[in-house]
Amino acid sequence: MKKHRTSPTTDSRYKPARPFNADEFGRVRRILGGKVLFVQGDAAVAYGALLAGCRFFAGYPITPATETSEILSQLMPRVGGVCIQMEDEIASVGAIIGASRAGVKSMTATSGPGFSLMQENIGYAAMTETPCVIVDVQRSGPSTGQPTEGAQGDIMQAKWGSHGDYELIALSPSTVQECLDLTIEAFNLSETYGIPVILLTDGIIGHMREKVVLPEFEEIELTWRREPTKPKEEFQPFLVDSTKIPEMAIFGTGYHTYITGLTHSETGYPATDSQVDHHRLVQRLCDKIRDNRDRIVQVERDYSDGDKDTIGIVSYGVTSRSVNSAVKMLRQDGLKIDHLRLVTNWPFPEKEVAELSERANRIVVPELNLGQVYHGVREAVAGRSEVIPLWKTGGEMHVPHDIVELVKGGVK
Amino acid sequence: MIVRFAGFGGQGIVVSSYIIGKSAVLDGKKAIQNQAYGSESRGGECRGDVVIANEEIYELEPTNYDVLVAMTQPAYEAFVPLLKPGGTLILDSDLVVTDKKLEPKKIKKHAIPATDIAFKKFGRKIVANMIILGYMNTLLSPVSESALEKAISESVPKGTEKMNLEAMREGIRLAREGKG
């Protein structure tokens, strides 16, 4: 059995402009309590944010995401940060974009209905290349749905929720430990690429308690946005080098920085009349992520020995836990199972799924919705394997037995 | 081991499941804990589940239980059918009347008047859950006694540690004496 996790750490080209020193990190660690904790996923997200150096949180309470706000309302003042309860989710994401531009790592947390409200400003963050982290603790929708039940219904919305063309990154934790680890990763990625990063947890993991081990300062890498390297008079806020990622001047530091949701030139000023300017800008917003997809995309492979005639399962988030159990049962029955877990939902791990389709004759895709990642898998597989969905909604996880039955050929 | 604590809000149901889960983690085991409760924080139906294992836990929403702690009649009636055959039922004998028709085969039943003891001995009904925790842990040993003590001390309001630990020890004593 091969178990391999690709873990591209954030690009070493981008050194933190403002290193978070070991003393400050240690102070946060002490506030959080011992090294080993037994906490909810929502708490792990809050702790991960503080350890990543997040010092601004704005949110509006919503089940099952409220605990993150609640915890940060208590802890932010103790680490010199700010936590604001806003009037709604639109204002919350607006506030974190502003705070990020003012030089502070910023986050909000919500669930489906609030995430829907945030979409316009997520597009604004993408267009203005403002790093920020948005946590969506998914619950059953559409609309108000089942407030206390978990779901995986916002995968497509995370990528396509705002209008126009842009790229962002979305991550799916499957354990409470990963809620903490991937929150740190989300900050690193947003700071590196100057984009909103979406952390897609769910009501099950958000409210479940599990063991969490807090990292040591030396064990993690923290990234900050690139600050200007040019003299003030030469600085243009959207002028890029070969990385296609602009340097980011903090508001109020004397650099001329103008940002707008309108199509803009390198100066930041509107340039809405030019087809060339618009195309170049939007192409770059997409390219800065697409060019780096190998650095960004994380998957976990738990593959069988051999390289063909296997049965594949693609899973992500909380559903991976049920799949792990099913994989164990199926292997006990002598089946060759390849389990590909998507840690990154967006950019879609198309290459990794395509590789799986070279080995697997059938690929089963269990998810807590009525078909979202299924479509990405089908596109990547391009007819090489049979893709079989296993959809479930209503707030309960897949029972491992159902996955086993489907994989063994039972038609649902 | 899969344990469901069930009763109504205010009986320390969720915190009991949390304390067992935290104790298991202190023992170096794997644990997950979940809860469900109505919109009322006190008086509504509520439950807390905890799963303890030596290996990774993949089933986050178990449907059958090894142990059920029932602290109200509705909790007993709703969840005793979900107990695994041969499982253990622990209940507060003053608050639950059992009905053999609802129960799976060969379950082991233990009934102690935890709420009554809590009131008479400690003047606080609220420590009934600590009596149950000590009792259950001595009966079934899901976690070490030292971890349980530490988890209780760290989880109860400051200043109440001594009373809670004494209540837990009362539960241990009842189990050792074979009560229930």
pLDDT at position A13, please?
36
Which residue on chain A is closest to B58 by alpha carbon? A321
Name, in order, each residue with C-beta under 8 angstroms of A139's C-beta and a sequence gap of 6 or more: A63, A64, A111, A112, A145, A146, A147, A148, A149, A150, A151, A202, A203
CATH of the domain at A147: 3.40.50.970
- Same domain for A207 and A319, yes or no, is no
pLDDT at position A18, please?
54
pLDDT at position A301, please?
98
pLDDT at position A1, please?
44
Q: Would you say the ipTM is above 0.90? A: yes
From chain A, pick out residues whose CB is under 8 angstroms from the CB of B30: 211
Q: Helices A400-407 and A319-332 meet at what angle, rounded to 10?
A: 50
Name the band, by pLDDT with cuts 50, 70 and 90, for residue B42.
low
B31 touches chain A (CB under 8 A): yes
Query: Quick check: is A263 in a domain?
Result: no
* Cα–Cα distance list, A252 to A98, A129, A306, B64 (Å): 12, 18, 59, 60
Nearest C-alpha of chain B: how many angstroms from A205?
9
From chain B, pick out residues whose CB is under 8 angstroms from the CB of A208: 32-34, 60
Secondary structure element (H or E) that encloses residue A235, with its range:
none
pLDDT at position A22, please?
86
Q: Which of A179, A95, A81, A86 is nearest to A132 (CA)?
A: A95
- A175: burial class by Cβ within 10 Å (0-12, 13-18, 19+)? buried
Q: Which of A182, A265, A191, A181 is nearest to A226 (CA)?
A: A191
- Same domain for A45 and A190, yes or no, is yes
- Among the partner-chain residues B32, B35, B58, the one whose CB lies closest to the CB of A210 is B32
Contact A322 B58 (CB under 8 A): yes
Secondary structure element (H or E) that encloses residue B149, with its range:
helix B145-155
d(C-alpha A68, C-alpha A270), whole Å: 37
Q: With a cut of 50, which residues of chain A have pLDDT below it? A: 1-17, 411-412
At residue A112, what is the residue type?
G
Contact A211 B33 (CB under 8 A): no
Mean pLDDT of chain B: 95
> Which 3-state string (H, E, C) describes chain A?
CEEEECCCCCCCCCCCCCCCCHHHHHHHHHHHCCCEEEEEHHHHHHHHHHHHCCCEEEECCCCCCHHHHHHHHHHHHHHCCEEEECCCHHHHHHHHHHHHHCCCCEEEEECHHHHHHHHHHHHHHHHHCCCEEEEEEEEECCCCCEEEEECCCCHHHHHHCCCCCCCCEEECCCCHHHHHHHHHHHHHHHHHHCCEEEEEEEHHHHHCEEEEECCCHHHCCCCCCCCCCCCHHHCCCCCCCCCCCCCCCCCCCCCCCCCCCCCECCCCCECCCCHHHHHHHHHHHHHHHHCCHHHHCCEEEEECCCCCCEEEEEEECCHHHHHHHHHHHHHHCCCCEEEEEECEEECCCHHHHHHHHHHEEEEEEEECCCCCHHHHHHHHHCCCCEEEEEECCCCCCCCHHHHHHHHCCCCC
Q: Which of B74, B68, B107, B108 is nearest to B91 (CA)?
A: B68
d(C-alpha B146, C-alpha A402), whole Å: 40
- Same domain for A156 and A69, yes or no, is yes
Q: Which two tokens stand for residue A164?
A: 């126009």
pLDDT at position A9, please?
38
pLDDT at position A24, please?
87
What b/e string do you get for A124-160 counting C-beta neighbours within 10 Å, with b at 16 or more? bbbbbbbbbbbbbbbbbbeeebbebbbbbbbbbbbbe
Query: Quick check: is A137 in a domain?
Result: yes
Q: Which of A373, A318, A303, A319 is nearest to A345 (CA)?
A: A373
User: In the CATH scheme, what architecture does the domain B2-176 have?
Assistant: 3-Layer(aba) Sandwich (3.40)
CATH of the domain at A301: 3.40.50.920
From chain B, pick out residues whose CB is under 8 angstroms from the CB of A321: 57-60
pLDDT digits (tens, 9 = 90+) for B58-111: 989 888 999 999 999 999 999 999 999 999 999 999 999 999 999 999 999 999
From chain B, pick out residues whose CB is under 8 angstroms from the CB of A400: 58-59
- Same domain for A175 and A89, yes or no, is yes
Q: Name the H helices within A208-306.
A: 275-290, 293-296
Q: Which residue has the tokens 């597009």?
A: A123
Query: Quick check: is A95 in a domain?
Result: yes
**Of the residues A189, A219, A249, the one at which a domain ends:** A219
Contact A209 B36 (CB under 8 A): no
User: Which of A175, A211, A213 should one mutate to test binding to chain B, selecting the residue with the greatest count of B CBs within 10 A?
Assistant: A211
Q: Which of A275, A291, A265 is nearest to A347 (CA)?
A: A291
Q: Which two tokens stand for residue A376?
A: 């990405």
Domain that holds residue A330: 297-407
* Peptide bond just before A64 cis, omega within 30 deg: yes
Say if residues A366 and A390 touch (Cβ distance below 8 Å): yes
Please state the separation of Cα B53 from the chain's center in Å: 17
- Same domain for A317 and A213, yes or no, is no
Name the domain count of chain A.
2
**Of the residues A219, A246, A277, the one at which a domain ends:** A219
Contact B36 A148 (CB under 8 A): yes
pLDDT digits (tens, 9 = 90+) for A310-358: 999 999 999 999 999 999 999 999 999 999 999 999 999 999 999 999 9
Say if residues A136 and A111 touch (Cβ distance below 8 Å): yes
pLDDT at position A5, please?
42
SS3 B160: coil
pLDDT at position B41, please?
60
Say if residues B89 and B108 touch (Cβ distance below 8 Å): yes
Q: Which two tokens stand for residue A224?
A: 């900050």
Mean pLDDT of chain A: 93
- Same domain for A214 and A341, yes or no, is no
Q: Which two tokens stand for residue A192?
A: 């590196």
d(C-alpha B143, C-alpha B123), whole Å: 28
Q: Which residue has the tokens 């791990």?
A: A349
- Same domain for A208 and A303, yes or no, is no
Which residue on chain A is closest to B15 by alpha carbon? A209
